[in-house]
């Protein structure tokens, strides 16, 4: 089997580099012949995945955080062989997608797990954004896409010039700062053609996986292989109230809160009301879309993990 590894060398900072230095010597034993390619800038992992798939690699392994994982999945889905095997070694800041799988923390056990894992099929979500000239932008995500204060938080977390902490602490600090600055924006949420919410929104999350934000169990009902997407909507509220809800997200004790609603469907739309604007992110990376129009692709990804 032809194996290619796409590594983001800056993912996770020093801790990510230490983890990679522990993993690298194990590759020859557990993943013999694997070719390692490193990215040099954000947004490069997706096109690199397309290139490697088209060159005949049968198995692509992403080494990085949620953004790198999402980019590589997007590249595989865009390629002529979307059934190409995919795995990942999490070395990033939040590593939220990895929380869905209870992976071992030890490098040797992690590499062994991937090398010997059976293949499972999981869902992928596809975002489409129509342009004024008639074209449509398209990208895929595998974990969560969201709109609202979460988009602002992701921008702050990924700002390398203003990093005061690492890992989950960075997400928490950015979340607190973002909530204190954010003014809820008017939005409309539609699930399978049915309008489920209209009004001020703090955050609306479309979930394939269950975690985001460095360990926030935001949509605990999400299932990667049920052929559906879960939606969580936090209505507009005062800053103190939202900060209180933030503290409950890590334990999923926000479920049942009167300001939060959950929905499930195959096609989701989140769009700003006239005169409003929403910040949008997908798999922990800010994206320049004004709205989210998302559909699930059931069992689209061949995951070996």
| CA distances for 245 relative to 55, 110, 182, 240, angstroms | 48, 34, 15, 9
Strands 35-38 and 3-7: parallel
Q: What is the pTM (predicted TM-score) of this model?
A: 0.93
CA dist 190 and 263 (Å) reads 10
| Confidence at residue 161, expressed as pLDDT on a 0 to 100 scale | 52
User: Mean pLDDT, the chain, as a whole number?
Assistant: 93
User: Residue 132, Cβ neighbours under 10 Å: how many?
Assistant: 5
Tokens (6 digits) for 233: 């909507």
Q: Say what the pLDDT of residue 136 is.
A: 84
Helix 167-181 and helix 239-249, axial crossing angle in degrees, nearest 10: 160
Candidates 224, 234, 242; CA nearest to 263 is 234
Per-residue pLDDT reduced to its tens digit, 69-118? 999 999 999 999 999 999 999 998 779 999 999 999 999 999 999 999 99
Summary count for the chain: helices (H), strands (E)? 8, 15
Question: Are the CB atoms for 293 and 129 separated by under 8 Å?
Answer: yes
Q: Which domains does the chain have, with CATH numbers?
A: 3-117 (3.40.50.10330), 126-298 (2.60.200.40)
**pLDDT < 70: residue spans in the chain:** 131-132, 159-168
**Tokens read off for 127:** 């975002």
Note the pLDDT of residue 207: 99
pLDDT at res. 2: 98
The answer to whether 219 touches 232, Cβ cutoff 8 Å, is yes
Residues in contact with 251: Cβ distance below 8 Å, sequence separation at least 6, in sequence order: 217
Give the pLDDT confidence score for residue 166 in this predicted structure. Answer: 60
Q: Write the pLDDT tens digit of every residue in 41-51.
A: 999 999 999 99
């Amino acid at each position: 089997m032809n194996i290619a590894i796409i590594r983001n060398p800056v993912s996770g900072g020093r801790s990510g580099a230490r983890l990679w230095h522990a993993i690298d010597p194990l590759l020859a034993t557990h993943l013999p012949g694997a070719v390692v390619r490193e990215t040099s800038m954000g947004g490069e992992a997706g096109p690199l995945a397309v290139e490697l798939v088209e060159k005949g690699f049968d198995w692509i392994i992403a080494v990085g955080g949620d953004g790198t994982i999402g980019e590589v999945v997007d590249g595989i889905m865009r390629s002529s062989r979307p059934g190409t095997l995919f795995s990942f070694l999490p070395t990033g800041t939040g590593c939220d997608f990895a929380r869905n799988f209870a992976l071992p923390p030890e490098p040797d056990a992690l590499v062994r797990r991937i090398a010997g894992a059976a293949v499972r099929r999981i869902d992928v979500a596809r975002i489409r954004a129509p342009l004024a000239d008639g074209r449509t932008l398209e990208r895929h995500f595998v974990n969560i896409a969201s709109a609202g204060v979460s988009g602002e938080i992701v921008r702050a977390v990924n700002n390398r010039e203003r990093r005061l902490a690492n890992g989950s602490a960075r997400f928490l600090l950015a979340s607190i700062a973002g909530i204190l600055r954010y003014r809820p924006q008017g939005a409309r949420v539609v699930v399978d053609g049915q309008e489920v919410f209209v009004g001020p929104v703090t955050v609306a999350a479309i979930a394939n996986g269950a975690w985001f934000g460095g360990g926030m169990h935001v949509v605990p009902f999400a299932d990667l292989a049920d052929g559906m997407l879960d939606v969580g909507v936090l209505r507009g509220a005062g800053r103190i109230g939202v900060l209180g809800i933030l503290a409950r997200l890590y334990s999923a004790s926000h479920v049942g809160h009167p300001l939060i609603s959950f929905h499930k469907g195959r096609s989701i739309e989140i769009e700003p009301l006239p005169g409003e604007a929403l910040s949008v992110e997908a798999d922990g990376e800010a994206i320049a879309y004004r709205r989210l129009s998302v559909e699930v692709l059931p069992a689209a990804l061949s995951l070996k993990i």
